[in-house]
Amino acid sequence: MSNNAKNLPEVKLGQYKGLAVTRHVRPLSEKTIDQEMVHQTRMRSVYHNSTAPAKRGSRVLLDFVGFMDGEEIPDSRMEKVMVVLGDGKLMPAAEDAIYGHTAGETFRFDFTYPEQFRVEELSGKTAQFEIKLHSVAEKTTPELNEEFARAQGYADLAAMREAVRAKKRKIHEDAADRAAGQELLAKAGANLTVDLPEAMLDRTADNEMRMLEQRLSRSNITLDKHCKNSHTTAAALRAGYRDAAERNLRSMLASRSIAEAENITVSTLEVNNEYRRLSQLQDTPEADIRRVLSPDTLAAALVAQKVQRFLLDNADITTVMDPEKE
């Protein structure tokens, strides 16, 4: 048992089986299916090298370097940079200079730095930038037709549409389950008998208030002004943070207690599989995720998911379809 677990207060479970919950499912419109079908073609777009002049949407491969008074500006050289024009990765002046040029060209353009530029010696001065355009490529998106559907492994376009519908429906159903499961866990937490550490809740609320003030200060907004704009008070905000801290702590204690009572566990294999899933989902090396997310933390999250599933399986559920929003 971890030190944190040893320091947790004793709890007595109240009712956690047979709790009532309304499960809200987002509707699935034909418009959503249409958009997803088009998205499938865009996901399979490919770029082909072109001899045509570069334009918005072109993918270009380039070298980039700046000069001031005939001398190269330190740290200004970039080589073999690939960008899609119009995606905001290049400064506007450079992007404007590229439009109309073709692969193989080398050209220059002038750029005057702002008066209050972050590098003082460049403030207000005009530099010359040189771009060597290695390649220009244009994107081709396949047509949404029977041939495209068969290329993706479907019998025809109608079968592809039904597969897309089933996938999107599952996403909506899973989201409804997660929300309902979290609500059931919160209800189970509210039914606990426990003496909560008041000092911990106060520290959490105070910390949330400090972080709020820090976020506001970055936008030059005072807490008083924020409260006035939001028609609230600092005391009300702090009370809200404290209530949230109590709900979160109760949910965590309920999750642990229900898991123990119902023998809900996760294996090392399940934890390792979740690390791999997160690595693929976030396109991040697994080692990096392990450095910021400990096995104990990940295991607790997986146990909470299983507990919520258990609560759903033993709940009085009413499922409703929410009004469709366009």
Domain residue extents for the chain: 11-28+152-325, 46-140
The top-level CATH class assigned to 11-28+152-325 is: mainly alpha
Compute CA distances 116 → 97, 119, 123, 164, 275, whole Å.
24, 8, 6, 52, 46
Q: Where are the beta strands (DSSP E) in the chain?
A: 11-12, 20-25, 46-49, 59-68, 71-72, 78-84, 106-112, 126-140, 193-194, 316-321
pLDDT at 1: 35
* C-alpha radius of gyration, the chain, whole number: 28
Distance CA 275, CA 245 (A): 28
- What is the mean pLDDT for each group of 10 consecutive residues in the chain (326 residues)? 59 96 94 96 95 96 92 91 92 93 95 83 88 96 96 96 96 96 96 94 95 94 94 96 95 95 96 95 93 94 96 97 70
Q: Which two tokens stand for residue 143?
A: 């047509």
pLDDT at 124: 86
pLDDT at 326: 45
pLDDT at 5: 52
**Crossing angle of helices 157-190/295-313, nearest 10°?**
100
Compute CA distances 67 → 71, 76, 77, whole Å.
5, 8, 10
Which residues, in sequence order, are bridge partners of residue 138?
A: 48
Question: 3.30.465.10, 3.10.50.40, 3.40.630.30, 2.40.160.20: which CATH number matches 46-140?
Answer: 3.10.50.40
What is the pTM (predicted TM-score) of this model? 0.74
Largest CA distance in the chain: 78
Sequence-ordered list of residues with C-beta below 8 angstroms from that of 87, at least 6 positions apart, any chain: none
Sequence-ordered list of residues with C-beta below 8 angstroms from that of 111, at least 6 positions apart, any chain: 66, 91, 93, 94, 126, 127, 128, 129
Distance CA 33, CA 144 (A): 13
pLDDT at 322: 84
Compute CA distances 293 → 268, 275, 306, whole Å.
15, 9, 19
**Other Cβ atoms closer than 10 A to 168:** 17
Contact, 250 vs 189, CB < 8 A? yes
pLDDT at 3: 38
pLDDT at 6: 55
Q: DSSP per residue over 210-278, as a string?
A: HHHHHHHHTTT--HHHHHHHTT--HHHHHHHHHHHHHHHHHHHHHHHHHHHHTT----HHHHHHHHHHH
pLDDT at 183: 97
